[in-house]
Structure 1
Amino acid sequence: MAEPQEESLFEAPPMAEQERMVEAILFASVEAVTIKELSDRMPHGSDPAEALVYLKKRYEGRGVHLVRVGDAWAMRTAGDLGFLMQKETIETRKLSRAAIETLAIVAYHQPVTRAEIEEIRGVSVSRGTVDQLIEMEWIRFGRRRMTPGRPVTFVVTQTFLDHFGLENARDLPGLKELRSAGLLDNRPAPGLEALDADDDDEDESPEGQNELFED
């Protein structure tokens, strides 16, 4: 006769308790947290991915939302309530036009090398401009190209996506939104000329902008 199996000493907590754990971790974390990081902190057998699904639904329509940032998750103020946080906002130093153009090119053309950035802008890119964007943690080094010299590429960071409330680079705005946010002026933006026509199409067809980011 087979002996009864002993109950596991590492039985996962009930899902409701796992939701509370995920909520506590995200609430206390300044930066977005990946599922792996959640799993490493929670008891053995926990399923943070499933807990996130329930928690996201629980926060729908609330003043705080559970949002995905790249491959991580974070608690963020609802977008329509951002005006309430104005007094708490810290004004960052204004980027130079060169830095704005470089950042925009990296965001819309990533992964992109320094030579490609210079080709799109039509002028050289100073080391200080790139260093500033890296220091702000808005761009980072990507993979090296498998071409002669194996040049390094640049891509935007999770911090950049988080700052602008984006899940991934496909959610990047058009030129009108960039200008209304103060990131671009009314002069032509090197490397983003295609978005001008796209913005015009947007007036006639709301779906026009999304086509720019299709694979």
Structure 2
Amino acid sequence: MNEENLRRIQAITEAALLAAGKPLNLDQLRELFDEHERPARQVMEHVMCQLAAACDGRGFELKKVASGYRLQVREEYAPWVGRLFEERPQRYSRALLETLALIAYRQPITRGEIEEIRGVTVSSNIVRTLLEREWVRVVGHRDVPGRPAMYATTRQFLDYFNLTGLDQLPPLSEVRDLEEIGREIEKNMQAEIEFEAGGPAPEPDDVAGDDAGDADSADHQTLH
């Protein structure tokens, strides 16, 4: 394939990623082209490398996440871009972040198992928030009395936190306790929150998905 055709494919790919508003994988990008002109997968991989290089020194980057590729504002420019948006970022409680971290590291895991580790009751608001955000989903039921639901993270969770897979989470050996896991996940979400909602994200507190029965003042047990 000549250079002119490669530049055309790259331009179409860039336009599609800008318009999509969500990650697109290689097969979805290839489907943009008529069958007689559809680039081979190897060609598309080459085009993505070229597009990534073309973003060097610019305010946005090509990012590969679990669902595919997307063009996004570079993290260092998020504070300025965030000023375009009036809505303040959603604040997530420490309890919600700890619950999400446990699901990410121990999946599949039941609500009762989360409560046993954290030592406090998991608020229904937290579970509902995680399900509504599509960060977690029910993947089955534990074969014990009551058949409690088992939760696991989703592809949307990986996309939101700029991850291609769970192997990109920090190893548990590097994380001392649940609070530190929550901070690690919170760090990964800063740029995304600032970009989509506007302004620097505030420190987490008992706001979203928490209630009086799930106080952050409770003692936190260490993950083993």
Q: What's the TM-score, normalizing by structure 1?
A: 0.67
State the SS of the aligned residue for 2:70: strand
Q: What are the Cα deviations for residues 43-96 of structure 1, in whole angstroms up to 9, with x where unaligned?
A: 323233332122122223321100011131100111222222131354233233
Residue 144 (1) aligns with residue 140 (2): yes
CA distance in 1 between counterparts of 2:102 and 2:63 reads 26
Shift of 1:156: 2.7
Paired residues, number = 181
1:1-215 aligned within 5 A: 14-44=5-35, 45-47=38-40, 48-89=44-85, 90-141=87-138, 143-144=139-140, 147-148=143-144, 152-172=149-169, 175=180, 177=184, 182-183=203-204, 190=220, 193=223
CA distance in 2 between counterparts of 1:158 and 1:170 reads 13
Q: CA RMSD in A?
A: 3.3
Q: Does 1 or 2 have the higher relative contact order (CA < 8 Å, sep 6+)?
A: 2
CA distance in 2 between counterparts of 1:189 and 1:65 reads 41
Shift of 1:37: 1.8
- The answer as to whether partners of 1:69 and 1:161 remain within 8 angstroms in 2 is yes
Q: What's the TM-score, normalizing by structure 2?
A: 0.65
- For 1:82, the aligned partner's letter is A
Bigger Rg, structure 1 or 2? 1
- For 2:137, the aligned partner's letter is R
State the SS of the aligned residue for 2:63: strand
CA distance in 1 between counterparts of 2:108 and 2:143 reads 14
- The answer as to whether partners of 1:101 and 1:189 remain within 8 angstroms in 2 is no
- For structure 2, list consecutive stretches of 5 or more residues without a partner in the other structure: 191-202, 207-215
